[in-house]
Structure 1
Amino acid sequence: MLLDRLRAADRLDFSRATIDASHVQAKRGRGSPKVGPSPVDRARPGSKHHVLTDACGIPLRVSLMGGHRNDITQLLPLVDGLPPVRGKRGRPRRKPRTLYADRGYDHDIYRRRLRERGITPKIARRGEPHGSGLG
């Protein structure tokens, strides 16, 4: 409902979106599937928050996974799970036109899958400058 209201007020920009994840150390819940050993924090237990935002930085979709999971595992579930956003006349928006991501999402098969969904991927390649300022 919040996304519908933001779109009605012309506050959402579906021309491009950004996806990224951040690792958070877990203080409790070691037996939970949403907690796992961090590959970058000396195997301390933690979780990853994955966020898909619009061009203005407004969160469109969020997921939580164990800290040991690759970022790429949440790319398609976040994009496909975006609910239809109403608020204006016409067909509701279901996807951004362009998706920006950092090198954690660098896999050609996922670029193809995004193109099949009508989304232009702008994903940084390992070992090459991105050009957009993303890491």
Structure 2
Amino acid sequence: MGRGGLTNAEWARLESLLPPGGVRGGRWSDHRRVINGVLYRARTGMQWRDLPERFGPWETVYKQHRRWSADGMWKMLLSRIQAAEDAVGGIDWDVSVDSTAVRAHQHAAGARKAPPAPVAQKGTGPGTNLVDPVPAETGRPAGGGGQIGECLRRSRGGFTTKIHLVADGRCRPLAFVLTPGHYGDGPQLEHVLEQISVPRPGVGRPRTRPDRVLADKAYTSRSNRRYLRRRGIRHTIPERLDQQRHRQNRGSQGGRPTGFDREHYKKRNTVERAINRLKGFRAVATRYEKRAYIYLGTVALAALMIWLRT
């Protein structure tokens, strides 16, 4: 193991979850060596062609990362590790929601045509974590310019992608989605919470509902609060001053004040710390990939390593 590679304990947890070695035309390359190569590149942000020779041919490492990003393998591994933690009570279900903008490198531009949708089982492929709708009547982006289908748009920060993240109470990424950089935070609350799916041991549906959701004022819309009440999820979201004045001006028709627990809200920093951990991987802090599903696989790999090492 090189610096930052998989330890023996981490490899022991992953080995049983990986696909078998035998495939048509021969055998897979050593899984541990290839994963270490992908991890090395995610940590350093270097070009694939510059990978050290100890990881084998760079084409092998890149193609396996691209394949596992397309078919949801990284997402599946993350889900299995989360399930193992939940089985022993290791997940704090008071979750926090926030987003972070990621500046796209110049190499991320230039994708000529969106590739065909990868074949994957329902809920495992990358499409469920990508939000980039295009109006059907125009076939063009809703605004801001950029690349259709790759979650890249112009914003005040430049050419960016945005990661919307749910973190558990122990600063670990629980679920995430990608959007273009100019998308707002509030409208994505429902979508990112729908990505929470932690399998239960044995028979039973995956757990999809947290105990409590903490978020800042960007998420304080009526539609978000209705959605959380409909699902029976307690929430701690501060109300904006303009919303308070509007409610008070309406008198009795304005409804009751929203509940807000300052003590619970102190835990919201967990999502900020989870974002800092994710951006410790340079290939996450700066987007180099042209394809959104490959970048999403890099984010999933970084989240997987956070769960293995926390």
CA contact (8 A) 2:163 2:177 kept: yes
| Matched positions, count | 131
Q: What TM-score do the two structures reach when normalised by structure 2?
A: 0.38
CA contact (8 A) 2:82 2:198 kept: no
Structure with greater strand share of residues: 1
Query: Which is worse superposed, 57-66 or 23-32?
Result: 23-32
- Matching residue of 1:10: 89
Superposition pairs of residues 61-80 of structure 1, within 5 angstroms: 61-80=175-194
Query: What is the deviation of 1:57?
Result: 1.7
Query: Which is worse superposed, 71-80 or 18-27?
Result: 71-80
Query: What is the deviation of 1:46?
Result: 0.4
Greater Cα radius of gyration, structure 1 or 2? 2
Query: What is the deviation of 1:7?
Result: 1.0
Structure-2 change in CA distance of 1:8 and 1:88 (3 Å): farther
CA contact (8 A) 1:19 1:52 kept: yes
In 1: Cα distance, 2:152 partner to 2:261 partner: 31
Q: What TM-score do the two structures reach when normalised by structure 1?
A: 0.82
Q: Secondary structure at the match of 2:235?
A: strand
Letter in 1 for 2:215: A
In 2: Cα distance, 1:90 partner to 1:68 partner: 38
In 1: Cα distance, 2:104 partner to 2:85 partner: 33
- Matching residue of 2:135: none
CA contact (8 A) 2:176 2:195 kept: no
CA contact (8 A) 2:152 2:180 kept: yes
Superposition pairs of residues 17-36 of structure 1, within 5 angstroms: 17-27=95-105, 28-29=108-109, 30-33=146-149, 34-36=151-153
Q: Deviations over 1:12-54 (max 9, x none)?
A: 112x110100011111235254011224x2xx11011111111
Q: Secondary structure at the match of 1:50?
A: strand
Structure-2 change in CA distance of 1:62 and 1:100 (3 Å): same
Structure-2 change in CA distance of 1:117 and 1:85 (3 Å): same
Structure with greater helix share of residues: 2
Letter in 2 for 1:101: A
Q: Secondary structure at the match of 2:147?
A: coil
CA contact (8 A) 1:36 1:47 kept: yes
**1:97 correspondence with 2:207:** no
Q: Secondary structure at the match of 1:110?
A: helix
- Matching residue of 1:107: 221
In 2: Cα distance, 1:96 partner to 1:36 partner: 31
CA contact (8 A) 1:12 1:58 kept: no
Gaps of 5+ in 1: none
